[in-house]
Amino acid sequence: MKTLGLDIGTNSIGFALLDDTQGEILWQGVHIFQEGVNRNKGREESKNAERRAARQARKLTRRRHDRKVTLMRLLQAIGLCPTSEEELAHWKALDPYELRKRGLDEKLSPFEFGRAIYHLNQRRGFKSNRKATSEEEKGTLFKGDKKMGKRGIDEIKDALQNQNFRTLGEYLYSLNPHDERRRNRYTLRAFYEQEFDLLWKKQNPTIEANFEEVVRKFVHKKFQPKVLQHDWKFLIKDYIIFYQRKLKSQKELVGKCTLEPKKRRCPSSMLIFQEFRLLDKLHSIRITRETDTQDSSLSSKKKVREKEPVLKVLFLCLKSHSIPKKNTKILL
């Protein structure tokens, strides 16, 4: 009779084949293979994490490129951007910071106004999907990154509030590009949205193109009914420049219920699941008394018949979002 012994590790498998009758090792060795994780400064990281980061970067680059191309074609269609290569090269050579500053006080030509709008689309600033917390306010985005030499959002806020700058573009135009970089700083999405509103209000452009035809050409069929209810400003600002996709639903990742295979599992945020979790926790509690020979629990027959203590404890748990040990002990 022979026995095969295996020693399975994270990146190796040791093996030995024994002959039980003769008591000899017939075959032994170890097979070493690459780990299923990457190690970064002593920490384990999934190999998919690196691929996911690269995929997200590609997706971000593609969406930014598509947004720039769509906006330029739209500006050309409504007369805010030239179409010839020679004029387009001259249009791109205009100083966008100067146009963004001048556009607050004086009327710009259609091409100059289009250049200012196109520049707002280049970098849209940071926008969080949740409310800012105190920890986030202290982060790199707001305080800056000294290693990279990036200025924080707090510095821009201070300039806009205390130095009488109306917009981010006006503040950046005041900086000397030979002494200080204009771009190397963190910004908020709200800065660009506010500046767009002020520029549009001052310029109030007259666009002769047919709005419905332009919408049919540049807007996805899914969003056409909503865009057609608004105007040019909504099309350029809310649909193209500052449009942000909603978070992708993760419903398909929820597994099927073991009791009802045709239905998805109950989300952990539902109250009925929270009630089940608390009841399960309460019924797993063991009660030990000096006079008892065995431990008793809330799930015993006697306790199941006497529901009142369990319900009282459950009420306290739901009220305090935890299991109060002192009150639980008194009730039991």
* Distance, CA of 99 to CA of 96 (rounded, Å): 5
* Distance, CA of 218 to CA of 71 (rounded, Å): 9
pLDDT band at 305 (very low <50, low <70, confident <90, very high): very low
Q: Which helix (H) or strand (E) holds 120?
A: helix 110-120
C-alpha radius of gyration, the chain, whole number: 33
Q: Report whether pLDDT(250) > 70.
A: yes
Close Cβ partners of 37 (under 8 Å, ≥ 6 residues apart): 44, 45, 46, 47
N- to C-terminal Cα separation, the chain: 59
Q: Report whether pLDDT(317) > 70.
A: no
pLDDT band at 269 (very low <50, low <70, confident <90, very high): confident
Q: What pLDDT shows up at residue 304?
A: 43
* Distance, CA of 304 to CA of 326 (rounded, Å): 22
Q: Report whether pLDDT(303) > 50.
A: no
The residues facing 45 across adjacent strands are 38
Burial (0-12, 13-18, 19+ Cβ within 10 Å), 135:
exposed
Choose between 141 and 117: higher pLDDT.
117
CA proximity to 125, closest of 193, 179, 72, 58: 193
Angle in degrees, 0-180, between the axes of helices 110-120 and 189-203, rounded to the nearest 10: 170
Per residue in 172-221, pLDDT (tens digit) is: 999 888 888 888 888 889 999 999 999 999 999 889 899 999 999 999 99
* Distance, CA of 60 to CA of 97 (rounded, Å): 25
* Distance, CA of 112 to CA of 119 (rounded, Å): 11
User: DSSP code of 121?
Assistant: T
Close Cβ partners of 241 (under 8 Å, ≥ 6 residues apart): 67, 71, 117, 120, 121, 124, 192, 196
The full set of domain ranges for the chain reads 2-38, 57-128+136-241, 262-287+296-331
* Distance, CA of 110 to CA of 185 (rounded, Å): 29
Instruction: State the pTM of this model.
Output: 0.67
Close Cβ partners of 66 (under 8 Å, ≥ 6 residues apart): none
* Distance, CA of 187 to CA of 125 (rounded, Å): 5
Residue type, 289: R
Q: Residue 290, Cβ neighbours under 10 Å: how many?
A: 4
pLDDT band at 153 (very low <50, low <70, confident <90, very high): confident
Mean model confidence pLDDT for the chain: 82
Q: What pLDDT shows up at residue 49?
A: 83
